Amino acid sequence: MAVFAAVDLGASSGRVMLGRVTAGSVVLEEVARFENRPVRLGRSLHWNVTELYQGVLDGIRTVVAGLDGERLTSIGIDTWAVDYGLLAADGSLLGVPYHYRDARNDTEHADLFLRNGIAHLPFNTVYQLLQETDDRIQAAHRMLMMPDLLAYWLTGVAAGEVTNASTSGMLDPRAREWDSDLVGQLGLKADLLPPLLSPGDRIGELTPGVAQIVGADATVVAVGTHDTASAIVAVPAESANFAYIVSGTWSLVGVETTEPVVTEQARDGGFTNEAGVDGTVRLLRNVMGMWLVQESLRQWERDGVVLRLGDLLEEAAGMAALGAVVDPDLPVFLPPGDMPTRIARECERVGCAVPSTPAETIRAIMDSLAAAYARSVATAGALAGIEIDTVHIVGGGSQNRLLCQLTADATGLPVVAGPVEGSALGNVLVQARAAGVIDGGLAELRGVVRESFELRRYLPVGG
Contacts of residue 331, Cβ cutoff 8 Å, sequence gap at least 6: none
The burial class, CB within 10 Å (0-12 / 13-18 / 19+), for 249 is buried
Q: Tell me how long the chain is.
A: 463
Peptide bond into 419 cis (omega under 30): yes
* CA angle (220 as vertex; 215, 223 as ends), nearest 5: 140
Q: Collapsing DSSP states into helix, strand and coil, what is residue 192? A: helix
How does strand 196-197 pair with strand 160-161? parallel
- Tell me, yes or no, if 227 is annotated catalytic: yes
First-to-final CA distance of the chain? 42
Q: Which residues have C-beta within 8 Å of that of residue 140, sequence separation ≥ 6?
A: 86, 87, 88, 94, 189, 192
Query: With contact defined as beta carbons under 8 Å apart, do 369 and 250 qualify?
Result: no
CB 200 within 8 A of CB 170: no
User: How far is it, in rounded angstroms, from Cα 333 to Cα 348?
Assistant: 15
359-387: string of b/e by CB count within 10 Å (b at 16+)? bbbbbbbbbbbbbbbbbbbbbbbebbebe
Concatenated DSSP letters of 293-352: HHHHHHHHHHTT----HHHHHHHHHTSPP------TTSGGGSSSS-HHHHHHHHHHHHTS
Q: How many Å apart are CA 109 and CA 405, to the nearest integer?
A: 39
The whole-angstrom separation of Cα 73 and Cα 217 is: 9
Among residues 326, 282, 292, 304, the alpha carbon closest in space to that of 426 is found at 282
The total of other beta-carbon atoms located within 10 Å of residue 27's CB is 13
Active-site annotation holder among 227, 278, 329, 389: 227
Report, as residue numbers or ranges, the catalytic residues.
227
